[in-house]
Amino acid sequence: DADVTQTPRNRITKTGKRIMLECSQTKGHDRMYWYRQDPGLGLRLIYYSFDVKDINKGEISDGYSVSRQAQAKFSLSLESAIPNQTALYFCATSPTDFYGYTFGSGTRLTVV
């Protein structure tokens, strides 16, 4: 099994629908992150969490919310999906600030 598992891998949803992307990890890392990747823009941080009781907004948190259900689980929700949220979404984990990230395989989300 992968160290960081994202579900679903692909999803097509309609404008206005609520959708949840899930991330689970077996690394035992405290820190978890959600990023969005768009062509030519690199990765942009949506939310991050340093432990179960710690949730922080990233640079593009508007329109998104998160839940840290356990050390191993970190979910991203789009309350009312819109077409410009069509993107590739990555979950990542790390044990410390300088260790580097372990990424999941991504969720490709299309909002029509």
- Asked if residue 4 binds another protein (CB under 8 A), the reply is yes
Q: Is beta strand 73-78 parallel, antiparallel or unpaired with respect to 19-25?
A: antiparallel
CB-based contact 47:33 (threshold 8 Å) = yes
- The mark string for 39-58 relative to another protein (x by CB under 8 A, - otherwise) is -xxxxxx--x-------x-x
3-state secondary structure of 83: helix
- Asked if residue 100 binds another protein (CB under 8 A), the reply is yes
Number of residues in contact with another protein, rule: CB under 8 A?
Answer: 23
CA-CA-CA-CA torsion sign (26, 27, 32, 33): negative
- Asked if residue 64 binds another protein (CB under 8 A), the reply is no
Q: Determine the interface stretch with another protein among 20-28, 68-76, 78-86, 95-103 (rule: CB under 8 A).
A: 95-103
3-state secondary structure of 4: strand
Shortest reach from residue 67's CB to another protein, in Å: 20
Helices (H), the chain: none
- Asked if residue 104 binds another protein (CB under 8 A), the reply is yes
